[in-house]
Amino acid sequence: MRVGIIGGGIGGTALALALLQRGIDVHLFERAPAFGEVGAGIQVTPNAVKVIRAMGLMDALRAISFTPQALVGRNWKTAREMWRTPLADDCPSLYGAPFFHVHRADLHALFAARIPAERVTFARACSSVARTPTGAVASFTDGGTFEADLIVGADGIQSAVRASLFGTAQARFTGNMCYRAVVPFDTQPLDYVSPDSSFWLGPHAHVVTYYVCGGRAVNIVAVTETASWIEESWNVPSSRDELLAAFAGWHPNLLRLFGQADSVFKWGLFDRDPMPHWSDGAITLLGDAAHPMLPFLSQGAGMAIEDAFVLASCLAAGATVADALSAYEAQRLPRTRRVQLESRERGRTYHLSSPLALWRRDMTYRLRSLINPHRSGIKANWIYEHDATLPPEPAASAA
């Protein structure tokens, strides 16, 4: 079997490596002239760690990671804790794997550096895909083509493969934009940034901060509501002043951290509904191309990594590409759909502003934390429990 992958982001490189590990012939096409990742942090939650471990990369992952103590919800102005979900001590026993923070470029390199150079073509942008009598063909903007038994679109949120298969879905602007920055430090940990994944919740806005690069830098993701935005891009340049102005009046520890950010980018948050299918003949989608999601449960990369492992396993096990793709969709569609919809819902909860709604939300966080901290806060325990490396549960038989 020969597989063509369009897109060499986290999902595409994870798939290429997972296929190579199973002895499947693969070639990856990336439109950029070289592998590269934007400067930002990423939370690698236990569900994604289980996959990375099954790929034999646990020691390499540990070497680039920071282990947070807890997921902590704080009031935007007073820093008062609303919830505290222990991670470092609890995740291995509860979910079977630790919780890590890493820099995106380090996570990407974990996969990309293990793909032989002859398996990758850079500076080749896919323009369309089509079925053939025996498989599929990808066409590129330089006029070239590539035929394979299967073509996988791992080409991100603006996927050309998805557009070619299913048309251009209208993305809905959510009314939120996001500032991001990574602030490097010589000394750590800083006395004004706790070693946690901190969620600061305020009216119409929230901020997430956590250490990356083994603790030598802090990642900032600051989301705020805005009336207008035109571009769906990670890389619109912003500035420290713009970030500080957007969060004026927030807790001094946060503003002190923002004051150290030399390089700030901004990003408009767009949303799309879950799709009913990802495949057409011998063409399918993976990662953001299949299920773009809001970042409020920190699962975009995690879902792409799970997709990669499951698709590779289905291809290795399936009698035909059609069997493999139907097993892949059966395992991945329901899970990613739920993550997409719950991420959307978290955005609403984090940004509540009416005093009554806030009081109710914060009381719920505190009461739930007293009963079970893992079912409070961002309520992602059902995501972390999942193990995509295990065979799927047999479908319940009809009574």
Kindly list the residues in this chain that would bind ligand FAD in the complex (CB under 6 A).
6-12, 29-32, 40, 42-43, 125-126, 154-156, 160, 178, 180, 221, 234, 267, 287-289, 295, 298-302, 304
Query: Closer CB to ligand FAD, residue 37 or residue 362?
Result: 37
Q: List the catalytic residue out of 95, 179, 192, 210.
A: 210
Give min distance, CB of 234 to ligand FAD, in A.
6
Q: Which parts of 177-286 fold into alpha helices (H)?
A: 240-246, 252-258
Taking only Cα atoms into account, the Rg of the chain, rounded to an integer number of angstroms, comes to 21
In angstroms, what is the minimal distance from the CB of 179 to ligand FAD?
Answer: 9
Provide the β-strand partners of residue 284.
152
The DSSP output letter for 280 is B
Nearer residue to ligand FAD within complex by CB, 44 or 314: 44
Strands 120-121 and 150-153: unpaired
Nearest alpha carbon to residue 202 among 229, 219, 181, 222: 222
* CB nearer to ligand FAD: pick between 202 and 295: 295
Residue 375's Cβ-side half-sphere holds a number of Cα atoms within 13 Å equal to 6
Q: Does residue 145 sit in helix, strand or coil?
A: strand
What is the distance between the alpha carbons of residues 44 and 384, in angstroms, rounded to a whole number?
10
C-beta closer to ligand FAD: residue 30 or 317:
30
CB of residue 108 to ligand FAD, shortest distance in Å:
8
Q: How far is the CB of 341 from ligand FAD (least distance, A)?
A: 16
C-beta closer to ligand FAD: residue 287 or 373? 287
Question: Which CB atom, from 141 or from 320, has the smaller least distance to ligand FAD?
Answer: 141
Closest approach, Cβ 122 to ligand FAD, in A, equals 9
Least distance from ligand FAD to the Cβ atom of residue 243, Å: 14
- The answer to whether 189 and 10 are in contact (CB under 8 A) is no
Separation CA 239–CA 254 (nearest Å): 16
Task: Give, in order, the Cα–Cα distances in Å from 339 to each of 35, 41, 334.
Answer: 28, 20, 9
- 384 among known catalytic residues: no
**How far is Cα 247 from Cα 256, in angstroms, rounded to an integer?**
12
User: Which residues are registered as beta bridge partners of 172?
Assistant: 271
> What is d(CA 120, CA 122) in angstroms, rounded to the nearest whole number?
6
The number of beta carbons lying within 10 Å of the beta carbon of residue 157 is 18
Known catalytic residues are: 210
